[in-house]
A and B are shown apart, each in its own frame.
Chain A
């Protein structure tokens, strides 16, 4: 299998007072033709990683190989073959969509026509509109279009949907899925677990500058002890003695128990075994149930299980 990106023991220290150690030995391997996601909270080191891979930031240590080439030796050839959408770029306000794309297209030897790319990201109607007049979602689609205009073999999208409304997010997802179907290799970063679950073939969960889990979304979820989540709360008006969370581990099929604000959260293998046992136990001890919900475990639960923190600090 072809490897599109390989990096080993990547390190980055931002000089300053105090210096910031953004990457602490990060390993990554992205296969050709897959959509690979880097999932992590703010400040995890996603942007730093991506910008090193894009050749616009110098690593402090480690090895990087992109499309079989190395930065510093084959820069021009590499730039011809990658497409980039940075986290938050504000393109020139007073150029139109088409002028912007023509300009970016002119930098590439095998640049595509602006018309074709506008159609691909659904901006044909806006071709004569100034960038400053576009909505947030349209600007983001233009940023993706600028990444596509060079007909790249490898596409980097840094937080492509952050800050967008649900409909705009879905439009970006459609573009990414379409690209993947046509065999492009995509590396995207996100702090939305649903985005990673929906779009990515494989995901690396990154925290504090390191990969802490790697696999397909379903593998990662399966690695949790218990693929189902049961959340419930008890009301305390009948209170012979407080409910001890750890004692619930004794129930059949229950794998973990955690206190959450406003209730308890259990991961279980089989809800149809665990829930009757839970109800029986609560009834026996005189606790009333005020809330009960079950759902499939998500990447969010994987992150919480690994770090004890949530992806997004609400």
Chain B
């Protein structure tokens, strides 16, 4: 048997363990895709709803109905005056038209759809009555990829995955190894500690790389995500993110002996970032007073930088502020964690 370097075998062991753990495969690869599909479908940009109009059956209602064709986006029902009042109250129609010598519109001016319906119906009726438009208009409709919710979401999901992967993949792993005394057992061999920690980091990087490729490819394939920035820049940001959150994971794990304590600590660290760092909605929604805090979180920096690169094609130098912030988080976490890390 050819003897291999312990570092390689440690990486190999780590990757094997990960791939043999169904939960890991689910959380790392399947879950973000499910989330993207679910949220992408729920918040897709829909065509405008059709306009529901009730026409009170009376002399001249035929004329009104024919002026409001389905092709114009109208859905018209002809009904009695009583029923029209009911439907308007229940919101089943946006507007009631009472035909007669002069038209009467009944609607609630506080309902946006009713106001829109009044404008559209009035326009259509006037035109049917022979109004001549003094100004000629052409309309060009644009729905650009890049401004949709799914475009906002995918970089956020990538950031979220890098965070939870780093925290669990390093923090939880080490505490688990400590609680089964495996860490102690390894320390009793001539294994170099740098090989060991390096292997954990390396397997994290490999996983982050796979996650990123999968999520971006999926976004491109299914949602026609357009990646504006360079893939190199995106990869570099992802690797930097993996470094930062491995450091935080290591910090959480450095003295914790119990799995439960570690889970608690980990959630405590991650929760503010889940909420504030712009995974699902923009952190700009928070009040100006807390913005400096929100912007100082490493996940905010990562998400902002990923979005700027993926959606706006930002270059690496333009993100240097965010990169420096992340580097600072990573270096400080590592320095502190390695200093106080307990091996046995």
Interface, chain A (partner B; CB < 8 A): 51, 54-57, 76, 79-80, 82, 84, 86, 88-95, 99, 102-109, 111, 113-115, 130, 146, 150
Asked if A104 and B189 make an inter-chain contact with CB atoms under 8 angstroms apart, the answer reads: yes
Cβ distance B12 to chain A, nearest Cβ, rounded Å: 8
- Given the interface pairs A94-B21, A95-B16, the reply to whether A79 lies near B188 with Cβ below 8 Å is yes
Q: How far is the CA of A146 from the CA of B187 in the complex (A)?
A: 13
The answer for the CA separation of A84 and B190 in the assembled complex, in Å, is: 11
B191 interface residue, CB < 8 Å from A? Answer: yes
- Which residues of B have CB within 8 Å of A114? 1
Q: State in angstroms the CA–CA spacing of A89 and B21 once bound together.
A: 20
| Additional 16 contacts, C-beta under 8 A, given A56-B343, A89-B185, A93-B17 | A54-B188, A55-B188, A82-B188, A84-B188, A84-B189, A89-B182, A90-B181, A91-B180, A91-B185, A92-B17, A94-B20, A94-B21, A95-B13, A106-B6, A113-B1, A115-B1
How far apart sit A146 and B184, CA to CA, in the bound complex (Å)? 14
Known interface pairs A95-B13, A95-B17. Does A90 touch B6 (Cβ–Cβ under 8 Å)? Answer: no
Known: A84-B188, A89-B181. A111 touches B21 (CB 8 A): no
**Shortest beta-carbon contacts, A-B, top 7:** A90-B180, A79-B190, A94-B20, A106-B6, A84-B188, A107-B191, A107-B189
| CB interface residues, B 1-56, toward A, < 8 Å | 1, 3-6, 9-10, 13, 16-17, 20-21
Instruction: Identify whether the interface residues of A are mostly helix, strand, loop, or mixed.
Output: loop
Whether B185 and A84, one on each chain, are in contact in the complex, defined by CB atoms closer than 8 angstroms, is yes
Tell me how far the C-beta of B185 lies from the nearest C-beta in chain A, rounded to whole angstroms.
5
Quick one: which of B5, B21, B344 contacts A106, CB cutoff 8 A? Answer: B5
Residue of chain B at shortest CB distance from A132: B20
Give every chain B residue within 8 A of A105 (Cβ-Cβ).
Answer: 3
Task: State A106–B189 Cα separation when bound (angstroms).
Answer: 10
Chain B: residues with Cβ within 8 Å of the partner, total of: 24
Cβ–Cβ < 8 Å partners of A113 in chain B? 1
Decide if B6 touches A89 in the complex (CB within 8 Å): no
Docked CA distance A90–B187 (Å): 14
User: Which residues in A have their C-beta under 8 angstroms from that of B17?
Assistant: 92-95
Q: How far is the CA of A114 from the CA of B9 in the complex (A)?
A: 14
Determine the chain B residues whose CB is within 8 A of the CB of A55 once the complex forms. Answer: 188
* Contact B189–A86 (Cβ < 8 Å): no
Judge whether A86 and B188 touch: CB under 8 Å.
yes
Whether A107 contacts B13 in the complex (CB less than 8 A), given A90-B182, A91-B182, comes out as no
Hey, which chain A residues are within 8 Å of B10, CB to CB?
103
> In the complex, what distance in Å separates the CA atom of A107 from the CA atom of B190?
6
CA distance A130 to B21 in the complex (A): 12
Contacts of B189 in A (CB 8 A): 79, 84, 104, 107-108, 150
By the criterion CB–CB under 8 Å, are A89 and B184 in contact? yes
Residues of B within 8 A of A111 (CB): 3
Bound: A57/B13 CA distance, A: 27
